[in-house]
């Protein structure tokens, strides 16, 4: 008797699947699409690479100019760039002469003038670059 009941249910299920096969296909396709990762996997554009190269060149030029100041010693500069606006959002200067308040002031003023950053966005620390 259980087989007849299960057989009847199976027949009804098959009939419903045949009747709603297109709706079932749309639901399954939608579920499969939801499982796909979102976002773009496009390679970086050449313009982005050019912008990165120009930022690196500008950073190197700034390092050379800042390290020429009296009392600075060896220097390393790191500029943080906001990816949304492509503008400089912060600067870190590590140098041997940062123990002197005069050197820190000179470097802060110079980095501010070159980048347009306010002094609260510039950190000058003593260290071995």
DSSP 8-state secondary structure symbol assigned to residue 120: G
Taking the C-alpha atoms of residue 53 and residue 60, their distance in angstroms, rounded to an integer, is: 11
The string of pLDDT tens digits covering residues 19-46 is: 777 777 788 788 888 887 776 666 656 6
Between CA 79 and CA 87 the distance in angstroms is: 10
For residue 10 the two structure tokens come to 């199976």
Sign of the dihedral defined by the CA atoms of residues 115, 117, 78, 99, in that order:
positive
* pLDDT of 113 higher than 90: yes
Dihedral sign from CA coordinates of 113, 127, 67, 101: positive
Which carries the bigger pLDDT value, residue 89 or residue 42?
Answer: 89
User: For residue 4, is pLDDT > 60?
Assistant: no
Helix axis angle for 21-35 and 2-19, nearest 10°, is: 80
pLDDT band at 110 (very low <50, low <70, confident <90, very high): very high
What one-character DSSP code corresponds to residue 86?
Answer: T
pTM above 0.75, yes or no: no
pLDDT at 45: 63
Q: Are 117 and 88 in contact (CB under 8 A)?
A: yes
pLDDT, one tens digit per residue, over 33-88 is: 888 777 666 665 666 777 778 888 989 999 999 999 999 999 999 999 988 888 99
Q: Is pLDDT of 115 > 70?
A: yes
pLDDT grade, residue 5 (50/70/90)?
Answer: low
């Amino acid at each position: 008797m259980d087989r007849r009941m299960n057989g009847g249910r199976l027949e009804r299920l098959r009939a419903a699947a045949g009747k709603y096969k297109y709706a079932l296909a749309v639901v399954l396709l939608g579920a499969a699409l939801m499982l796909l990762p979102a976002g773009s996997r496009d390679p970086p554009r050449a313009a982005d690479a050019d912008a990165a190269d120009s930022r690196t060149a500008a950073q190197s030029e700034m390092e050379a100019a800042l390290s020429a100041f009296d009392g600075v010693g060896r220097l390393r500069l790191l500029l943080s760039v906001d990816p949304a606006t492509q503008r400089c959002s912060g600067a870190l200067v590590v140098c041997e002469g940062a123990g002197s308040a005069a050197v820190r002031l000179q470097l802060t003023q110079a980095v501010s003038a070159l980048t347009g950053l306010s002094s609260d966005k510039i950190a000058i620390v003593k260290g071995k670059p």
